[in-house]
Each structure stands twice: as structure tokens, then as C-alpha cells.
């Protein structure tokens, strides 16, 4: 069977349709792992992602794997069995952080917000005082609820109490403001398949000097590359592949062999960052803001209700309540079958109750927004919902005209 995937417009919460430039970059010829051309590309990729993360962190690299690989690399490399971790939870990906930290042997406490809201930083500070964690681990944009957690204050709280701060910004990076250094974020990890406009499979990661010191103190004794006076005191990291100490040494000046860098994915990650930085980081965030505002106005123009606290919504995804007249999955199937447009379902408490519609990366585009709204109007009406004629497209166009 030849692979001939059909045309799709991916307007869900990710993955989204990759930018054609990224797909072209991925088809470029391979070079050897330690070819100076390849190590030059690695250095260039690091420099690009320092700009994307708004950081001066030397330790800015790719973890080979989907976003979850970098989340796990960060947590298992920072957390030793018995360490205390605090996780503000406001959706599915917060629960994932809890699970990964528990598997790493941490004593985990949570501060929870109802789905559709963000966590009040004052409650985070209270919990930091009570639980005295080594690490606060938090999601910035949780696609399961569309909420975007404000981080500046949590960064200040962590600095005040000398706590490390890890952030999963997979879904929010370059679609919403993210300031690694200004906000005091120690480790930030992302993926390509949301606003960066690439496929999943590479996870850009940045590590502050103080987090790096913690990780390096757990470096594998087996490597035998350390002198006695800087012998690590921490326990060995419980993963080889996701050992950030080794990954950082592979990307660092010593280029110690660990895995074989996923060359085609590096090309993809490189091109994703170049596209963003050519347009400008601020302009890219603004493009996501406008596309998100247009989609929000459009679904409201169709008479639909938006789920959650709209004031804290990520720019790049909206959760829409399913009208009583229709069956959620039947509408999604018709969008895909008749219009080749994918919109998202939801997890857990929201399954069958809301659709999630994304405007991310290459698809944070006027024509993609308008086409999706026109198709949705047609499908909703065909499935028995009363929707105003042209109401979605007209409202979105008003946002673009403003
Ligand atoms: C989409 C998303 C991920 C994706 O993880 P993968 O391993 O790439 O599937 C992780 N975290 C958040 C917050 C996301 O929205």
C-alpha cells in the first residue's frame, strides 16, 4: 500500500497541519551525527530556541521524542525518590505531571482549580509554604480545558521560597507570551505540533543554570568522566534515554555520544523556529491572538456557548459547548467526511460536552478560520441545530476588519 494521506485541515487542539516549509526541510539529505555540518545545525537550532524561549540559557536543546518525552526527561532528571513536588492542576496535563512525578518517587501535593479556570497564585504560595516542595511543576496552556495559567507570579513565588519551577508550555509557546528568564522559569519544555507548526516528534527544552546544577549533581557515576572532587552526590537518574544530564552533555561542547540525534526532526524543529523568528515572535503571538479572537467571535456568532473562563483562554484553542440538538461525535465525523476538517473532541469530564477548535501554527490563518466556520454552520444545521445564516463567518470577518 502506498501512503497517500488525504488532504485534511487540522483545526483541533493539535496536531495541526504542518507548515509546508517544515515538511520540505524534513526531506533534506541526512548528514552524519558528528559531521561539522550537523553539529553546526545543532548549534544553530539551540540559538533559535533561545530566542523562542526568550532565554539566555546555554542548556537549550532538543529532546528526541514527542512533548511528553521532554516532560518526563525534566521531571525524572530533577526529582529524586522522596523529593516533594507541588503541581497546580487545572486540566488533564496537570494530572500527567502528577503521574510522572509520582512514578519518579516524589511525594506530590496538588492545588486544583475546577476545569475551565486557572489556579490562583496565592493558593500556590500557601501550598508551597505548607508542602515545602523542591519543585513546582505546572502547565502553561492546558489544551484539555483551553486555560492559560499566568506564570509570572508563580515564578516570583518560587524564587522567594527557593523552589525550582518546571513548565510544560507545549501548547502555548509562540501562540501566547512565554518569558523563561523574566518569569524565572527553570525548565521549560515544548513540542512542535501546536503553534510551532511542525509534526510531533521533537521536544525543544531549556534548562536554567540552577536547574542544571541540580541535574548535573545526579550525573551517572558510570560515565567515569568526572574527577573525584566533583563526584555527584545525588541518586542516579531513573532513565537512560531521558537523562537530561547525558542529553545536555551530548549537546554541549564535549558532544558525549548518547542517542543519535533525530536528524530529520532536527531539520523540522530548526525550520519551525526560523518561520516564527522570521515573522517575529511578537508578530507570531499576535497572529495567534487575532485568529483565536476571530474563531471565538465566529462560534459565538453561530449562537454557540464557549466553555471556561474566556479571560484566561489560550489564544490558540477554544472549547465550544455542544448544543443539545446534536451528537458531538456525529458533527465531528461530518466535518471530516464532508469538508476534510478535523475539530477536536474532549477528555474526561468534558467528553461529549465540548468540541475543541484550534487555530495554531500554519493554521492560525484567516482562510482556515473562515472555512472552518462556514463548514461548521452547514453541519450544525444539517444535524438539526438552529444556527444563524452566515453568523459565524461575518463575526470572524469583523475581527479581521478591526
Ligand atoms: C498537546 C500537549 C502535549 C503533547 O504531548 P505529546 O507527547 O507531544 O503528545 C503535552 N502537553 C500539553 C500541555 C499539550 O497541550
Question: How high does pLDDT run on average in the chain?
Answer: 96
pLDDT score of 232 more than 80: no
* 3-state DSSP assignment of residue 119: coil
Chain center to CA of 253: 28
- 220 has a pLDDT exceeding 70: no
CATH of 20-277, one of 3.90.280.10, 3.40.50.1220, 3.40.640.10, 3.40.50.300: 3.40.640.10
Q: Tell me which of 31 and 348 has the higher pLDDT.
A: 31
User: CA–CA separation, 23 vs 36, rounded Å?
Assistant: 24
d(CA 247, CA 236): 14
Domain boundaries, the chain: 20-277, 280-401
Q: Which of 135, 144, 126 is nearest to 107 (CA)?
A: 135
Strand pairing class (354-358; 317-321): antiparallel
Confidence at residue 225, expressed as pLDDT on a 0 to 100 scale: 52
Is the whole-model pTM more than 0.75? yes
Q: In this structure, which topology does domain 280-401 adopt according to CATH?
A: 3.90.1150
Region of 287 please: left (phi>0), alpha (psi -120 to 50) or beta: alpha
Alpha helices in 57-105 (DSSP H): 67-78, 92-103
Q: What is the mean pLDDT of residues 357-380?
A: 98
Q: What tens digit of pLDDT does each residue of 250-288 get?
A: 999 999 999 999 999 999 999 999 999 999 999 999 999
Give yes or no for residue 231 having a pLDDT over 80: no
pLDDT above 60 for 88: yes
Ligand 1, CB cutoff 6 Å, lining residues: 14, 66-68, 93, 139, 142-143, 168, 170-171, 191, 194, 200
What pLDDT shows up at residue 234?
85
All cell numbers assigned to 111: 492545588
Protein residue closest via CA to atom 6 of ligand 1: 67
Is 356 annotated for ligand binding?
yes
Mutation choice for ligand 1 from 67, 71, 88, 147, CB with most ligand atoms inside 8 A: 67
Are 261 and 42 spatial neighbours (Cβ–Cβ below 8 Å)? Answer: yes
Amino acid at each position: 500500500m502506498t501512503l497517500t494521506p488525504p488532504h485534511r485541515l487540522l483545526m483541533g487542539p493539535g496536531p495541526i497541519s504542518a507548515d509546508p516549509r517544515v515538511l520540505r526541510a524534513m526531506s533534506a539529505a541526512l548528514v552524519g551525527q558528528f559531521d561539522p555540518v550537523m553539529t553546526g545545525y545543532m548549534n544553530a537550532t539551540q540559538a533559535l530556541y533561545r530566542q523562542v524561549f526568550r532565554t539566555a540559557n546555554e542548556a537549550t536543546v532538543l529532546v528526541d521524542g514527542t512533548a511528553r518525552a521532554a516532560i518526563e526527561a525534566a521531571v525524572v532528571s530533577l526529582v529524586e525518590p522522596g523529593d516533594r513536588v507541588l503541581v497546580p492542576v487545572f486540566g488533564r496535563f496537570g494530572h500527567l505531571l502528577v503521574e510522572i512525578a509520582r512514578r519518579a518517587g516524589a511525594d506530590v501535593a496538588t492545588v486544583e482549580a475546577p476545569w475551565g479556570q486557572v489556579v490562583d497564585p496565592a493558593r500556590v504560595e500557601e501550598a508551597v509554604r505548607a508542602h515545602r516542595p523542591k519543585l513546582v511543576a505546572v502547565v502553561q496552556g492546558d489544551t484539555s480545558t483551553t486555560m492559560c495559567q499566568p506564570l509570572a507570579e508563580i515564578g516570583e513565588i518560587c524564587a522567594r521560597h527557593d523552589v525550582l519551577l518546571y513548565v510544560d508550555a507545549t501548547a502555548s509557546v509562540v501562540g501566547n507570551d512565554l518569558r523563561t528568564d523574566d518569569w524565572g522559569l527553570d525548565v521549560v519544555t515544548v513540542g512542535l505540533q501546536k503553534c510551532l507548526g511542525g509534526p510531533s516528534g521533537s521536544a525543544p527544552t531549556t534548562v536554567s543554570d540552577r536547574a542544571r546544577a541540580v541535574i548535573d549533581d545526579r550525573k551517572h557515576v558510570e560515565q567515569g568522566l568526572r574527577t573525584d572532587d566533583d563526584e555527584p552526590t545525588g541518586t542516579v537518574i531513573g532513565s537512560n534515554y531521558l537523562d537530561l544530564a547525558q542529553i545536555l552533555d551530548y549537546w554541549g561542547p564535549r558532544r558525549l555520544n548518547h542517542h543519535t540525534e533525530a536528524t530529520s526532526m532536527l531539520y523540522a524543529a530548526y525550520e519551525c523556529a526560523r518561520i516564527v523568528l522570521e515573522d517575529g515572535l511578537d508578530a507570531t503571538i499576535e497572529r495567534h491572538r487575532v485568529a483565536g479572537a476571530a474563531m471565538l467571535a465566529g462560534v459565538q456568532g453561530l449562537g454557540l456557548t464557549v466553555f471556561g473562563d474566556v479571560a484566561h483562554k489560550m489564544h490558540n484553542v477554544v472549547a465550544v459547548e455542544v448544543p443539545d440538538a446534536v451528537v458531538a461525535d456525529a458533527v465531528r465525523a461530518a466535518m471530516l467526511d464532508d469538508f476534510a476538517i478535523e475539530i477536536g473532541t474532549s477528555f474526561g469530564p468534558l467528553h461529549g460536552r465540548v468540541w475543541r477548535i484550534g487555530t495554531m501554527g500554519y493554521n492560525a490563518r484567516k482562510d482556515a478560520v473562515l472555512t472552518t466556520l462556514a463548514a461548521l454552520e452547514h453541519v450544525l444545521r444539517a444535524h438539526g441545530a438552529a444556527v444563524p445564516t452566515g453568523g459565524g463567518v461575518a463575526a470572524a470577518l469583523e475581527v479581521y476588519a478591526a
